[in-house]
Structure 1
């Protein structure tokens, strides 16, 4: 498995952002208001990945008070990290599309102001998930001999 590349993450963000924007053009009026807690799950998963990266780094370094970690566990964490970084990038693009759609239309739709706040929080939560995934992926790399 190769490390995540910036262009792949950027492509995922752009593609999902464009698809979300087109979807909103045709369906925003029929959607209910985005729940303000929608980005919370992304934030929690991102924070868990950041914490896991810290714990894994300490265990790989063999610091006192830690147990050795199995190589298979590190491989599983690396796969989870890659998925987290890709999901974070894609969801950042989607939330950016929501923000880009509702911000200029805050006068047209009564829910646009609240949706803009939720979209801003969603971008922040997706950034935490992206950072957590990239950090965990970096920690799980095999050191060069």
Structure 2
């Protein structure tokens, strides 16, 4: 069973399953995050939805590049969690199935190409409070307690 974080499932609400991949990108005592300006300004683990027919690892590389401009090296999968939420950019309610990977930032390639996103290095102690959803915070904490 995959743990759920965030708001409770709304009775009678139809949710569209939305698989996604996200990265915990540690370097020393900092973590590379993406700051999303809208619909609600928040810090997030870089990543996003897996397109139809796309391999999850390819999606992770694509999403991290779009949101941070960084090339990464994936170390291992940390696990997964679910969130039930409204996605205003797509105008539907989603069951987000979020797979989280530990990865290493290799080098910056370009500025983020995803509109409204910027790459932000945060001290991990601050990120544990600032990340916008409980699942991201839980997996950052998990990554900090595992061998890198």
- Fold conserved (TM > 0.5)? no
Higher helix share: 1
TM-score (structure 1 length as normaliser): 0.24
Structure whose CA Rg is larger: 1
Higher strand share: 2
Q: Which has the higher contact order (CA 8 A, sep 6+)?
A: 1
